Structure 1
């Protein structure tokens, strides 16, 4: 639907073709078996599920697409059951949008999908419901999403297959290595599967413009585990507990190489055995044993995922039900704007009035930076999409399957221009929605001007609720500080990794990283200037924060000046892995979608210590690497002081 706020993914022609085929199948089923609006609901659900499936993820999309199908069915059920009652429909739409807004507290994907469901709800035709029409539209919406799930099963996406196979091989080999090390402490770790995994990751780097955040640990984590296994094996001759840890680790790694619930259960049981064995090792080996335990837990989480339970989701949402939370403020803004938009449509009898609520759905996000700029940009993109689609509908008057063909054509253009920015994406999704509504042939009379007026009203509502319910200034400052921290550490990680892996175009890559950090610094200073506070504590914190990040920038500049043309071929694998582990720890992450970016100070400090240990193997002439170790120490010292 038009209100679908998911980002169209970078094109993968096979997966895109599968997704578009699902839209056509769902539209055909809706036209054949559905009542008024059912074909739009079925095709819209297929579009949303298809876009969800195309979001890059190392794990398969089957589970999330299936869940999305039923969520879209719930939205259609509520919309068709209440659409003929003006006041009730307004209340239901506002309540759904409030719940969609707070779902950003669970994850960005959950919030986007729920908001997309709101588009199906607000476009329900205002006809008297019957049991057959409501049930039919609901089942067809679920069917539209499940068609995409079925096509995924029949035609799985191949982008990540080679990487998953390489990861399976690496963990299987590590399981065998751990068992061998437990039996004979002098054996080593087979490096070939880890090399294959690194090569597979390098190929994906060339295929994918924006990798998922969790993906960066795919090849680094098995290498980190291999180093820890080797280190533990060196301590085993005098410590029987270490041998038990290695045996238990072998069981976990073998299970991680498997698939299915049985493998996940074996992995979790093995983790308990590792923890029990870690409690029996000598005091001198406790740190290594706990490090291995933590790495194995990361491997299990990356391989099998963490099941999102209703209590966990409820707890995550509950944590944002505070006055200062940007997630709660977004939910209130979204519910207010959409509720007002639906009310104007129903009680002012505005032609194409559903575009008021749809525009608000498209424009609003739980953002605290560039809020008005992005709102205006999305509203402008929506208007462009309206104009383009209206010109076509004025000439061709597409309905039914012909309208579905135009939906597919516009989505194809959207996928092809997926890297062109949110304005272009808004225009593509808007044009697709115009044709989606025409699939059922139930659009009300009116001209392009009527649609544009509705878009302007919706855009004005979006901007008005932002002005009436602005984010707390301290929240905004914390967000800007987090964004500055994120860009600074990404700049630092880029420079650090260049010492051991090199860069294809080092000048361009480092300049781009610095430019992002520079823009984030400007935004941070603007937020700091707009924060009115007489707090001496705040002023001291700002001074400390600026000083620490200035020190990081200085260290990065020194590293750039010492960066060798090519990484030294004499670097040991242990040193390279230690640097990779440090860069991975440095990148950090948000604790939740509404929280500022943070780093784990303990993990960064531990990774820096690993580099110092590995640096003992450096040759006397390896000046560049010694500079790297020294500057990493300064970067770590600066960051540890501001982790809280």
Structure 2
């Protein structure tokens, strides 16, 4: 998602399709060659870096809304390159620009992790600005070429999406069209059948690709259509009866929405927005015994629309950008972790840039570049990750320098070498972010080499620059740590999130066939165990003697232990064939509970939270359907009992956890 090591954590999320990577690299290579022979090596350096960043954004984002994201990031990259071109030859001005931009980049984490990562990547392009005075062509054309490199990536991903996404998109399209046809049939005839063949085929499409390599919006994407189908089947007994209950009208409106979700024309989003309004209205008008089921169906349809289009009825891109300053201003408080990260990043990068400009260390830009790579608003394992990124960069530098000991490539050869190592970075994603940092370190050696303003010798200077920059980053965390109560609140949220992920995995294994369940459950538990250790370390470091906080800690531990105990009970009672003894509608209700249990994704700016109202409503639906199962169904009774325990414990945490941990102003 970015040129610096900040890209590492983003890139490790999923392995892109090889064809999409190849197209992205070819587009980056073509624009870089154009910049090299049409403008200057420095322009080619920035164009290459921007193409890599934009390509990573396009390849790693969820299937919806990639083009606006890449286009917006390209504009930001062009602005940063313009600042670099104008200030690079004036040392004092350059240091000031680096400080101001890095402060702004740090504050962008308040808009979300993706915005923060892109801003950090842009900072990497800024700190490698050469000392030499730019030509008029550099000033005028470098930002334009950077913008063009990003827009080319947006065009490539729009015209030719990755193959894996295409196959899954086709499967989802077929499933939603089939559901739309079934909804119309059931609305007209209560005895109509619901075709399950598209659902079976959809499950096979998703099963044939690695789960860890799917975009978030496609993760387990076959389950939502299956839940919709199960709810649709449950309407069969009433849809063709008394039309005054509103069920046929709801199913007709649902069919229109499902058709819009399956559509890929430019009007699909607008049609879905209108259809969703009608679905909500008809669901609210359903009366009698079908009211609860209608509301559940409406929520599932909304979830399907959000997965397909993103949040509906949201402001457009201009409106979102206009609201960003207000969000940033809300974090201009001393206890905000975002503000403290921005100060750490600005001061440390400015010090590193000044040391590079006024010191005698060769390749001094590696100090500031390492700061950009290492510093993030992290709340757990900060120093371990800093050390890991530093080591990764050092290994990458050694690998790249080993290639240039006897062969010193020119600008064109450097472009090719950098492009090859970007491909390597995509290839090693599956091995974790440290492997990606190694590749990114080698990429940066050749990206700077494209500019031609430094010699290839000096591996020792590069390594010293990494060591000094990493040391400055660690020192910044030591001198300006996050507020102790804020850090404790964040660690508490991380622990709660990992504990819930473990619970969700256990519940999923209870009602669905899971590949290698023992391994999956063990991995989830290990994450929760590490998060608990980090939380206890944060509590010990805070040294808080408040009786209120101590009472909160006891209740927090008690609730989490209850969740763990419930999960252990479920894990010890896992059925051999989960779905054989459970009704399809009951399984769909449990899937709804799992979705409510997982909550919203975490953000550096906002502690992780859980909507207990939604979770309690999902539990009630599970209870209602459990009452219709056979009385001798022991597995269902165990599941419902432990879900009740989990929900009650999480509700206690949600009630008690905010006030005791809230920072004092």
Give per-residue Cα distances to partners, 1:429-453, cap 9 Å, x unaligned. 1111111111132225761222222
The answer to whether the 8 A contact 2:206-2:220 is kept is no
Contact 1:217 1:584 in 2 (8 A): no
The verdict on how the C-alpha distance between 1:232 and 1:94 changes in structure 2, with shifts beyond 3 A counting, is farther
Equivalent of residue 300 in structure 2, options 290, 295, 299: 295
Residue 220 of structure 1 pairs with residue 223 of structure 2: yes
1:470 maps to what in 2? Answer: 481
Tell me the distance in 2 between the aligned counterparts of 1:212 and 1:164: 12
- Greater shift, 349-358 or 472-481, is seen at 349-358
Tell me what 1:628 maps to: 639
| Change over 3 Å in CA distance of 1:214–1:603 after alignment to 2 | farther
Q: Is the 8 A contact 2:348 2:476 kept in 1?
A: yes
From the superposition, tell whether residues 165 and 445 of structure 1 become closer, same or farther in structure 2 (CA, over 3 Å): closer
Equivalents in 1 of 2:90, 2:111: separation in Å? 32
The yes-or-no answer on 1:337 pairing with 2:338 is no
Shift of 1:557: 1.3
User: Of 577, 594, 602, which residue of structure 1 is paired with 2:613?
Assistant: 602
Residues in 2 aligned to 1:552 and 1:196: alpha-carbon distance in whole angstroms: 36
Residues 336 and 62 of structure 1, relative CA distance in 2, 3 Å threshold: same
Aligned to 1:3: 4
Q: 1:638 to 1:262 in 2, by over 3 A?
A: same
Partner of 1:390: 401
Q: 1:320 to 1:284 in 2, by over 3 A?
A: farther
Could you tell me how far apart the structure 1 residues matched to 2:509 and 2:299 are? 27
Moved more, 2-11 or 341-350: 2-11
Distance 2:332 2:247 in 1: 46
**Match status 1:563 vs 2:557:** no
The one of 519, 533, 547 aligned to 2:558: 547
Match of 1:198 in 2: 203
Q: How many angstroms does 1:110 deviate by?
A: 1.7
Name the residue aligned to 1:509. 520
Q: Which residue of 1 aligns with 2:182?
A: 177
Work out which of the residue numbers 485, 503, 507 in structure 1 matches 2:496.
Answer: 485
Whole-angstrom distance in 1 between the partners of 2:232 and 2:517: 34
Distance (Å, rounded) in 2 between the aligned partners of 1:19 and 1:4: 19
The Cα of 1:118 is off from its aligned counterpart by 1.1
Shift of 1:80: 0.3
CA contact (8 A) 2:65 2:309 kept: no
Taking structure 1 as the reference length, the TM-score comes to: 0.93
Are 1:494 and 1:510, in contact at CA under 8 Å, matched by a contact in 2? Answer: yes
Task: Please tell me whether the aligned partners of residues 404 and 456 of structure 2 are also in contact (alpha carbons under 8 angstroms).
Answer: no
Deviations 1:438-497 (A, max 9, x none): 113222576122222222221121112111210111111112111211221122122212
Match of 2:545 in 1: 534
The answer as to 2:33 corresponding to 1:28 is yes
Q: What is residue 46 of structure 2 aligned with on the other side?
A: 41
What does residue 71 of structure 1 align with?
Answer: 76
Q: Is the 8 A contact 1:58 1:164 kept in 2?
A: no
Which residue of 151, 172, 195 maps to 1:146? 151
* CA drift at 1:247: 2.7
Deviations 1:105-151 (A, max 9, x none): 22222211121111111212223344432111112222222333343
SS state of the match for residue 598, structure 1?
Answer: coil
**Secondary structure of the structure 2 residue equivalent to 1:533:** coil
1:319-334 mapped onto 2 (5 Å cutoff): 319-334=330-345
Deviations along 1:209-249, one digit per CA (max 9) or x if unpaired, are 25444434633333333444455565564434443333322
Q: 1:486 to 1:200 in 2, by over 3 A?
A: same
Cα separation, 2, equivalents of 1:625 and 1:277: 32
Q: 1:173 to 1:65 in 2, by over 3 A?
A: same
For residues 182-216 of structure 1, give each alpha carbon's deviation from its aligned partner in whole angstroms, at most 9, with x where no partner exists.
33344353333333322222223xx2425444434
Q: Which of 228-237 and 562-571 deviates more?
A: 228-237
Give the 3 Å change call, closer, same or farther, for CA 305–260 of structure 1 in structure 2. farther
Judging changes above 3 Å, is the alpha-carbon distance between structure 1 residues 626 and 573 closer, same or farther for their aligned structure 2 residues? same
Q: Could you list the runs of 5+ residues in structure 1 that have no partner in the other structure?
A: none
Q: What TM-score, normalized to structure 2?
A: 0.90
* Alpha-carbon distance between aligned partners in 2 of 1:581 and 1:93, rounded to the nearest angstrom: 47
CA distance in 1, matches of 2:50, 2:288: 57
Alignment map for 1:574-589 (pairs within 5 Å): 574-589=585-600
Instruction: Give the corresponding residue for 2:453.
Output: 442
1:51 paired with 2:56, answer yes
What is the 5 A alignment of 1:443-462?
A: 443=454, 447-462=458-473
How many angstroms does 1:367 deviate by? 0.1
Q: Is the 8 A contact 1:359 1:455 kept in 2?
A: yes
Residues in 1 aligned to 2:134 and 2:324: alpha-carbon distance in whole angstroms: 33
- How much does 1:284 deviate? 5.9
Q: Which of the residues 143, 148, 165 maps onto 2:170?
A: 165
